[in-house]
Amino acid sequence: MKAAMIFPGQGSQYVGMGKDLVEKFPAVADVYREADDMLHYPLSRLCFQGDPEVLTQTRNAQPAILLHSIAVLGILRDEAGAEPAITAGHSLGEYSALVAAGVLSPMDALRIVRRRGELMFDAGHRQPGTMAAVIGMTREDVEAVCREATTGDAIVVVANVNSPMQIVISGHIDAVGRAMELAGSRGAKKTIQLNVSGAFHSPLVEPAQRELVEFLGQFTFKEPAVGLVCNVDAKVIRDTEAIVNALSRQLTNPVLWSDSMQVLTGGWKGRIMEVGPGTVLSGLMKRTDRSRPVEACGTAEQLEHLIAVEVEPA
């Protein structure tokens, strides 16, 4: 069974994530155990029963989400015979997509993502910033607001194009605040400040990006078995050099998710699965292309239902 597989990013974490997978699918326990051993850190305990505030920290949320996605991917492959036809992942989720495409091993991806989360967490302390969602305005209008709210010493930029009318902005705290006020006065239905530790996908995290690029050089990237729709260009890439180049630009460039999903649905007419915790990407797809439903595959209940349907005798 082939499907487009899309993988969630930061913000989809929750305490208890993965616990039901371990209880229903015993092989998953080995994945979490290996991750704990490799990281020298009880990530599984944090996922299953940790403090929500600690789990939400960028340095913890990112490996937790990746690990959950990897576990779900293994269940889909082993129990339902599912394989990706094309992959994509939202920001952090791009690393999960690379595991699905055979570019990175699960534990190498986890090492990278743990370091990525640490670097982004530290960048937020060195250069304080924030992010906010603007609902009900086009990307062009939000970009205009960002230009007006930016001053010589405080910038705000578009960080995520999640759907045609859901845009996330990122930058210095004062500049983001000005942009939120301007957006509200110019017809935005809502502006929401996000609970994040830094101005991700903006120039403020450039030091983290430089260190991450250096860290990526320690790992072996294999040729992908399937295409990946990358965040920074919203294009299908199929070779290692292009993948590393895209990852090297990802932290300071906007996540073109809506554009990426238009590329994915334009080239793939089959089923689409959200592989990992939550249903954020399923919701965004409804705002981008309502004709293409997404199957959420994040809980044991959802997976058991899918498996039962797939293995049902003809």
- For the annotated catalytic residues, the residue numbers are 91, 201
Burial, 309: exposed, middle or buried (Cβ in 10 Å; 0-12, 13-18, 19+)? exposed
b or e along 156-166 (b: 16 or more beta carbons within 10 Å of the residue's beta carbon)? Answer: bbbbbbbbebb
What whole-number distance in Å separates Cα of residue 90 and Cα of residue 262? 14
DSSP-derived letter for residue 151 is: B
What whole-number distance in Å separates Cα of residue 294 and Cα of residue 262? 14
DSSP-derived letter for residue 203 is: G
List strands edge to edge, sheet with 166-171.
156-163, 166-171, 130-135, 190-193
Residue type, 181: E
What whole-number distance in Å separates Cα of residue 147 and Cα of residue 155? 8
Burial, 109: exposed, middle or buried (Cβ in 10 Å; 0-12, 13-18, 19+)? buried
Name the helix (H) or strand (E) containing 126.
Answer: helix 106-126
What is the separation of C-alpha 93 from the centre of its chain, rounded to a whole number of angstroms? 3
Residue found under tokens 């913890």: 60
What whole-number distance in Å separates Cα of residue 274 and Cα of residue 41? 27
Q: Phi, psi (5° rounding) for residue 117?
A: -65, -40
Burial, 301: exposed, middle or buried (Cβ in 10 Å; 0-12, 13-18, 19+)? exposed
- 135: which strand partners? 166, 190
